[in-house]
Amino acid sequence: MKGVILGIHPTAQIIDITHDIQAQNVRLAALALRDSARYFAAGTIFVVVVDPGVGGERRPIAAQSGDYVFVAPDNGVLSYAIEDLAAATLVELTSTQHRLEPVSYTFHGRDIFAPAAAHLAAGVPIDQLGPRAADPVVLPQPTLTVAAGRLVGEVVQIDHFGNIVTSIGPLRWTKPDEAIYLRIGSEHGLGVPISATDAQITIDGQTINGIIRAYGAVARGTLLATIGSSGYLEVAINQGGAAARLDAAIGDMVELYTGVN
Amino acid sequence: MKGVILGIHPTAQIIDITHDIQAQNVRLAALALRDSARYFAAGTIFVVVVDPGVGGERRPIAAQSGDYVFVAPDNGVLSYAIEDLAAATLVELTSTQHRLEPVSYTFHGRDIFAPAAAHLAAGVPIDQLGPRAADPVVLPQPTLTVAAGRLVGEVVQIDHFGNIVTSIGPLRWTKPDEAIYLRIGSEHGLGVPISATDAQITIDGQTINGIIRAYGAVARGTLLATIGSSGYLEVAINQGGAAARLDAAIGDMVELYTGVN
Amino acid sequence: MKGVILGIHPTAQIIDITHDIQAQNVRLAALALRDSARYFAAGTIFVVVVDPGVGGERRPIAAQSGDYVFVAPDNGVLSYAIEDLAAATLVELTSTQHRLEPVSYTFHGRDIFAPAAAHLAAGVPIDQLGPRAADPVVLPQPTLTVAAGRLVGEVVQIDHFGNIVTSIGPLRWTKPDEAIYLRIGSEHGLGVPISATDAQITIDGQTINGIIRAYGAVARGTLLATIGSSGYLEVAINQGGAAARLDAAIGDMVELYTGVN
């Protein structure tokens, strides 16, 4: 794919975000993209490839949203990086002159996605890549319910350290005291006050008291709750694997009692 | 190696093709190089390092072929990427001013191959890197026999999904119908018609009927035959490991009955 | 982290040295940095992140040494790459305008180290990143004792092939004969003659006779001593794992009898 990109656009800067997404796990890829895309400069073209599951390939699309363009299969993988995917400028990648012909049936990354991204980076307008497309596949948002004094979410990811990432967030620490505040869905969303010291988290039959800033603040082997680098509530063990100890799985319910009346 | 390259040629674009070749498996590296090199732009310099096996290091060489230059040990790793390796322009890398002195005995990639590639990329003519060399090590081509209505090849690779890659190819789908045609050895080779629906593949005592375009076309767990991204016949299981189920190994015989009289 | 760097300094050349350091193993990271940093061009900015252990984060620093600048936590990881760390120009990374605000508590690589490195690469003077810092954490140097006819060191690393890397070095082969000479601590250090053919190495109750230049010089499965790519004495098995066979561990004593009176 990189050879193809540089052949079309020799000055492209190519960065690998990750190659560690589980095969066919579109939802994990969508979450990883949500958490990293916003750190890239305006004008970045994102190329997203996930192995197709049963049912085969989805149509290839490009989606323009703000200062970014995403090139991906229409399988929902852009659902979280683009806040309203159905309202974005979508194009189906059908232009044969912006593909590598003949297109193989098993490596669309090389033959369709990489050339499209390279042409976009080189300045080709998105509408030259194909006709406008509608009705993209959109994944359901991770569960998050806000009630008085209580937030209910779910496990969305087990990372490779065995840390449990939840749908509760994004959360931000406020200074200088220990209270944190919840924002939902955007920078301008609802703020819910949470007390880091008085909060209680329940997950898989266990209760954790308080939310801490860094793993090192508790003894090795202790179960803890913290705010991950993407701003979501995480349950972890200092130098251990929380998921195995709790027998946690994607979709398990997580409750956060805010500790604020 | 990358630090050395950028120290010599600061504007180099460096792309990793793969770091996942099994140690000392020169043949796998040679196949991977054959399948990816042609997607890179004219002028690309390829650096190829494979851990040496019993017998130690081979002489380091540079090989010019068409618009590419390859820097590699003379152990056969270029046998498939360059169609006639013995006829290519070959140079032994002996120039001390284009090496990193003192040369270590265990990291020729850093001390010999990376500097040579960087100097070539910066415009040094290949003949300044050392004297012309002859009689390169050439690996035997993977077995492929063409008979009336029948092709006989072998297993050349088990990929990390457990898919079985064979020597039968390159094959290309023709449009718009389901027939595919075999080309051998080059773009201008022999065309052998194959019926995707009537073809039969036998491997390790199993028979597979038909060649399909995409894994998703069959049920999960079904054994299937398809054309891989490099154009070679592959045997796989949708979301499973074919090699383990068939107990397949490199070198096992594979037969394809074309289904065309 | 790469997205952040390119957002600040779009023409940065970014090279991954390694992502394979064991979590929280500061000493291994320090050795890897010592062995690779000197191959990079003058002006290189190194970004070093190691997962924090018990006790949490250390203050983030930048250290200027010769033509390099290192950005890292003050946990000792620069102890071996910079010969006298306490004497280097050190700055604590406190400048909020050279960070990504708000700084998360779990991903300082992205929010503190990457922005600092990008600003340095873009030409910001190191003193604009924060106040001068003193008393950096310095790791003890790996044990190496030189006596008449005998060197005593320790195991400093087990690599992913199971090779045992020791603290005895840096060593350099001399030409054209088989004698090698030991230099200690710098290019201008003490020279100790060693006979490659007559040397004896003892480690974990085993004795190895002679030091060889390349693995391939002995039969498969044979225990051997050689000089690794970084110039340190290594104990290995040709195509095998020496550490498992010897039950070797970091810190085990290694003795080298020079074989020279």
- Tens of pLDDT, residue by residue over A19-41, are 878 777 888 899 889 989 999 99
User: Which residues make Cβ contacts (< 8 Å) with residue B24, sequence separation at least 6?
Assistant: B50, B51, B52, B53, C239
Percent of chain B whose pLDDT exceeds 70: 92
Q: Chain C contacts of B55, Cβ < 8 Å? A: 216
Instruction: Tell me the nearest-neighbour CA distance from A237 into chain B, angstroms.
Output: 32
Residues belonging to chain C with any Cβ–Cβ distance to chain A shorter than 8 Å: 2-4, 6-7, 10, 14, 23-24, 52-57, 100, 102, 104-107, 110
Residue in B closest to A109 by C-alpha: B229
Domain check: are A170 and A231 in the same one? yes
Q: Chain A contacts of C7, Cβ < 8 Å? A: 39-41
Q: Exposure pattern of B188-214 as b/e (b: 16+ CB <10 Å)?
A: eeeebebbbebbbbebbeeebebbbbb
8-state DSSP, A240: B
- Residue that finishes a domain, picked among A129, A163, A178: A129
A156 in a structural domain: yes
8-state DSSP, A104: P
Q: Which of A230, A233, A189 has the alpha carbon at shortest distance from A211?
A: A233
Q: Chain C contacts of A13, Cβ < 8 Å? A: 6, 10
Domain check: are B40 and B110 in the same one? yes
Mutate to test the interface with A, among B39, B230, B235 (most CBs of A within 10 A): B39
What CATH number should be reported for the domain holding residue B188? 2.40.30.90
User: Which residues make Cβ contacts (< 8 Å) with residue C3, sequence separation at least 6?
Assistant: A15, A17, A36, A39, A40, A41, A44
Report yes or no: B233 and B254 within 8 Å, Cβ to Cβ: yes
Mutate to test the interface with C, among A36, A218, A229 (most CBs of C within 10 A): A229
Domain check: are A157 and A230 in the same one? yes
- Domain with A103, as residue range(s), is 2-129
B139 in a structural domain: no
Whether the per-residue pLDDT at B58 is higher than 90: the answer is no
Whether the per-residue pLDDT at A6 is higher than 80: the answer is yes
Instruction: Tell me the nearest-neighbour CA distance from A6 into chain B, angstroms.
Output: 7
- For residue A100, report the phi and psi dihedrals to the nearest 5 degrees: -100, 110
Q: Which of B218, B217, B201 has the alpha carbon at shortest distance from B209?
A: B201
What average pLDDT does this structure show over A193-212? 91
Q: How many residues does chain B have?
A: 261
- For residue A242, report the phi and psi dihedrals to the nearest 5 degrees: -70, -35
Q: Chain A contacts of B17, Cβ < 8 Å? A: 3
- Residue that finishes a domain, picked among C129, C152, C186: C129
* pLDDT reported for residue A59: 93
Per the listing, tokens 């924060």 go with C130
* pLDDT reported for residue A17: 92
How many C-beta atoms surround the C-beta of residue C70 within 10 A? 24
Where on the phi/psi map is residue B239: left (φ > 0), alpha (ψ -120 to 50), or beta?
left
C88 in a structural domain: yes
CA distances from A175 to A172, C55, C57 (A): 10, 22, 19
Domain check: are C160 and C102 in the same one? no
Domain check: are A94 and A162 in the same one? no
Sheet with strand A89-92: strands edge to edge: A45-47, A68-73, A60-65, A89-92
How many domains in chain C? 2
Which residue in the set C24, C102, C106 is minimally distant from A214, CB to CB?
C106
C135 in a structural domain: no
C239 with B10: Cβ contact below 8 A: no
Domain check: are C93 and C172 in the same one? no
- At residue A112, the 3 state secondary structure works out as helix
Whether the per-residue pLDDT at C209 is higher than 80: the answer is yes
Query: Chains with ≥3 Cβ pairs under 8 A against C?
Result: A, B
A134 in a structural domain: no
* pLDDT reported for residue C188: 41
B59 in a structural domain: yes
- Residue that finishes a domain, picked among C83, C101, C129: C129
Q: Chain C contacts of A36, Cβ < 8 Å? A: 3
- What is the C-alpha separation between B228 and B171, in angstroms, rounded? 9
Q: Chain A contacts of B213, Cβ < 8 Å? A: 105
**ipTM at complex level:** 0.76
Domain check: are C120 and C6 in the same one? yes
Report yes or no: C47 and C114 within 8 Å, Cβ to Cβ: yes
B50 in a structural domain: yes
Q: Exposure pattern of A241-261 as b/e (b: 16+ CB <10 Å)?
A: bbbebbebebebebbbbbbee
Domain check: are C13 and C99 in the same one? yes
Domain check: are A23 and A80 in the same one? yes
How many C-beta atoms surround the C-beta of residue C99 within 10 A? 20
B54 with C227: Cβ contact below 8 A: no
Half-sphere exposure of B249 (CA within 13 A, CB side): 0
C159 in a structural domain: yes
Domain check: are A28 and A117 in the same one? yes
- Tens of pLDDT, residue by residue over B133-187, are 999 999 988 888 887 788 999 999 888 789 999 999 888 777 655 677 776 654 4
- Give A205: exposed, middle or buried? Use CB within 10 Å, 0-12, 13-18, 19+: exposed
- Tens of pLDDT, residue by residue over A119-172, are 999 999 999 999 999 999 999 888 888 887 889 999 998 887 899 999 998 887
Domain check: are A50 and A114 in the same one? yes
- What is the C-alpha separation between C250 and C165, in angstroms, rounded? 9
β-bridge mates for residue B221, sequence order: none
Report yes or no: A55 and A75 within 8 Å, Cβ to Cβ: no
What CATH number should be reported for the domain holding residue C109? 3.40.50.10790
Domain check: are A9 and A125 in the same one? yes
- What is the C-alpha separation between B226 and C172, in angstroms, rounded? 53
Report yes or no: C259 and C200 within 8 Å, Cβ to Cβ: yes
* pLDDT reported for residue B176: 55
- Residue C189 pLDDT grade (very low, low, confident, very high; cuts 50, 70, 90): very low
